Amino acid sequence: MSLRAWLLAVSLAAAVPCAAQAPASVPAVPDFAGPALLAPAVAVIPTPPDFPRGKISGVVFGDYYGNLAGDPRHAYSSSGADSGRANIDNSGKPITRDLNGFQIRRIYFQLDNDLSIRVSTRFRLEADGRSLASDGKLGVSVKGAYLQVRRVCPRGDLFFGVISTPTFDGVEEFWQYRSVEKTLTDFRGLGGSTDLGAALRGSFDPDRRFGYALMVGNGAGQKPEDNRYKRLYASLPVRAGALRIEPYADYESAAGGRDRATYKLFVGYEPGRAAIGVELLDRVDHRSAGGNQEPVGASLFVRGAPREQLAAFARVDLYRPDRRAADRVDSQLWIAGLDWQPFRDVHFMPNLEAVQYRARGAAVAPAHHDLQARLTISYKFSKPQS
């Protein structure tokens, strides 16, 4: 065999193994890269939310109470009903000792309805244990009925109808125990929780740290207007981390120079599972004769939750019905209790509420202080939006 033939034979022998291994050097095509994934993706077009849509919710709270101290005298009607006072209030009259019983203090039934992304309505009914119908049963009234239009101005919403006033919205939310007792201004009857009118609420900044609430209303609460004067409300709530500050003022003119103005400051601090709050109140009632009247008060309250299902709270209010009067009866309100929440939005709250009276000048204080023990039960209910 010639040299050329030997070289050709060696070259063919070397090429055969290489050709046999060539397919193995090509990476295998993964299964997920098959023709199915090469088809164009189907675009999902979002649908707008369904309107209108509504939500039903409500709150119920009441107690079993027992009056441990108070006026020991009892008087009975011909039907056997005790005419004594069952609950502590702003009347300045002591409760009647030894009275006890079950009571529903409030029932709220609320319907929220979203008509669009920007427009919604609210209708709220209230049953008040102290507002009875003609037959003596619990009475029901309209607590809220308004139209809300969002973003009528940058970060501002417009409300019209029977609206929650800014008088004690902020402090009541921070106090968290309206089911136990009203806040200072509400308890003393120096402001209403609702009024018929219009309001603008919002914030000055995108982070909602600096807010505002401006409102004009009849000043008659849930009752129809009976005069030509209006009540103006303004508050400027500020949130800075755990700190809350809210100055507030309202003014209402009246016939005969009997206009009145309310000034209030709320400061709250909540660094974690505990909180402390202070509410300061000054009200000036102008009179055409006899000098002006100026009720003033201060409230200090604390609350804490050492465990998720267990909390405690305490509060003291100092109140002078007219600091310009030398002869008056001042009072102190004391509250303390525990809050056990075995289920979400269900609260069992054993608590004590007491009032001490102190006469100034020639005034005469009630002969007996007040002490009431209660087991307060509060729960919420709701049905999700449909």
**Per-domain residue ranges for the chain?**
53-73+85-383
Burial class (CB within 10 angstroms; exposed 0-12, middle 13-18, buried 19+) of 25: exposed
How is 65-113 classified by DSSP, letter by letter? EEEEESB----B-TT--B-S--S--TTS-PPBTT-EEEEEEEEEEEEEE
CATH 2.40.30.170 fits domain 53-73+85-383: no
What pLDDT is stored for residue 384 in this prediction?
Answer: 72
Q: Which helix (H) or strand (E) holds 195?
A: strand 194-203
Helices (H) and strands (E) in the chain, counts: 3, 17
What pLDDT is stored for residue 133 in this prediction?
Answer: 84
Comparing CA positions, the residue from 133, 62, 74 lying closest to residue 102 is 62
Task: Give just the sign of the alpha carbon dihedral 322, 328, 329, 332.
Answer: positive
CA distances from 113 to 54, 117, 148, 239 (A): 4, 11, 10, 29
Q: How far apart are the first and last CA of the chain?
A: 96
pLDDT in tens, the chain (386 residues): 444 444 445 444 444 444 444 444 444 445 544 444 455 666 777 766 788 899 999 999 999 999 999 999 999 988 888 888 999 999 888 999 999 999 999 999 999 999 999 999 999 999 998 888 888 888 999 999 999 999 999 999 999 999 999 999 999 999 999 999 999 999 999 999 999 999 999 999 999 999 999 999 999 988 889 899 999 999 999 999 999 999 999 999 998 889 999 999 999 999 999 999 999 999 999 988 878 999 999 999 999 999 999 999 999 999 999 999 999 999 999 999 999 999 999 999 999 999 999 999 999 999 999 999 999 999 999 987 66
What pLDDT is stored for residue 25 in this prediction?
Answer: 46
Question: What three-state secondary structure class fits 339?
Answer: strand
The type of residue at 240 is A
